[in-house]
Structure 1
Amino acid sequence: MEVEITRQLGVVLEKRKSTHRWGGDIWMPIAVLVDPPQTDGWQEIEAGEGRTLFHYGPVPLTLHRKLGEAYDANIETENPALWVMLDDADTEPVPFKMRGITVDPYEAMGVLDSGEGLVERMPVPADVLHWMVDYLKQMPTPEKFKKRKRVNHKAEEQKFGKTPIFEAGGRREEQRGDG
């Protein structure tokens, strides 16, 4: 089994005018492309009717052997998802730079908790889902949990004829009693 595998995807981002009088533009990833064309950054692919579509690709989606539990948690939900993660940027025409795409819900949650950029949950394309499942089937089954047997603690015998400090009659008690 390979340690990690990678597949290239593309992202389609939509820009719409806000209907709120103080709002600016609304940006939202609306699609993930399975076989994306090569672009040099964000490229406008369609404009009109109050919206503009941009494409970015390819973006690597990497599955790692050690994250199988996270991928399983994602697949076992009713609607497996992938997350498009964008970081804020001061660029034109799109004010985001691509951070990546992940199918690890814990990674997406960590980026969401940071409160920066844009993270959007998207449905996993069927082709990508089959690719993930094939990789997960190759993973060895995890070892069963083995509970360790309890070992009784054996207290050390006092040596050198001294009373332990924290026992009744020990040095600490003697110091408090004398003062």
Structure 2
Amino acid sequence: MPVGVVLRRTPGVTRWASFAWTASGILIGAGDANWRELRREGDAVEFHAATLTLELHGAETEAYLHGLSTQVPSVYVIMRKSENAETPLEVLLVTASPYEAQDYTDSGEELVEKVPMPAGLIAWVRDFVEAFHQEEVFVKRKRDRKRIDQKEDGIGDGRIAQLGDVYRSPSSARKERLQ
């Protein structure tokens, strides 16, 4: 599903940051956009920064179910700082999986913003989960019934024929033979 990402620029609160950027919303079914200005309220400006495809995968249904069960179901916008002064952020991905979003926070290079899902998107993700989710049954692992206390396989080095010192190394055995 095509999803437009709305980024909001507000004046910075410190002298080191001229502006503060946040993902303020998403537009379901949006057309192509390249940093088109949507709204201006005083010093705050909202841009339709990019339109990406939100993809759902059958293997991720547990993550979507977890995301839908939160108090505010959300999508996650993953961004990276850009070298271009006109477009300071590059929007990389939009995902409904909180697990995938968490993976992007590990590197510290990407910015991950949580944006509330509109009702239509919640219904779309819920329908997908209902159609494809399969509960994984927990299977407890059983121990082998072999008796391991009767043999001492693997002790020492097999190249040493003497039974007296099974922990002796081959180099010390070779020295004894030469003497």
Under TM normalisation by the shorter chain, which class is it? 0.7 to 0.9
2:100 maps to 1:107: yes
User: 1:37·1:57 contact (CA, 8 Å) conserved in 2?
Assistant: no
Question: Which residue is equivalent to 1:29?
Answer: 23
TM-score if structure 2 supplies the norm length?
0.78
Question: What letter matches 1:66 in structure 2?
Answer: A
User: What residue identity is the alignment partner of 1:75?
Assistant: L
Q: For the residues of structure 2 that align with 1:152 and 1:137, how far apart are their CA atoms?
A: 41
2:42: which partner in 1?
Answer: 49
Say which is worse superposed, 49-58 or 138-147, in terms of deviation. 138-147
CA distance in 1 between partners of 2:9 and 2:53 (Å): 23
**1:71 matches 2:83:** no
Contact 1:83 1:103 survives alignment (8 Å): yes
Distance in 2 (alpha carbons) for counterparts of 1:54 and 1:158 = 71
**Counterpart-to-counterpart distance in 2, 1:145 and 1:77:** 24
- Could you say which residue in structure 2 is the equivalent of 1:62? 55
- CA gap of 1:44–1:133, structure 2 versus 1, over 3 A, is same
Aligned length: 165
Counting aligned pairs with the same residue, the percent is 28
Q: Deviations over 1:150-177 (max 9, x none)?
A: 3311447689xxxx649x955237x8xx
Task: Give the Cα–Cα distance (whole angstroms) in 2 for the partners of residues 158 and 51 of structure 1.
Answer: 75
Report how far residue 93 of structure 1 moved.
2.0
| 2:163 matches 1:152 | no
Structure 1-normalised TM-score?
0.78
Alignment RMSD: 2.9
State how far apart, in whole Å, the 2-side matches of 1:37 and 1:121 are.
22
SS of 2:7 mapped into structure 1: strand
Label 1:158 to 1:76 Cα distance change in 2 as closer, same or farther (>3 A).
closer
In 1, the alpha carbon distance for the partners of 2:104 and 2:75 equals 13
Unaligned runs of 5+ in 2: 158-162
Structure 1 unpaired stretches of 5+: 1-6
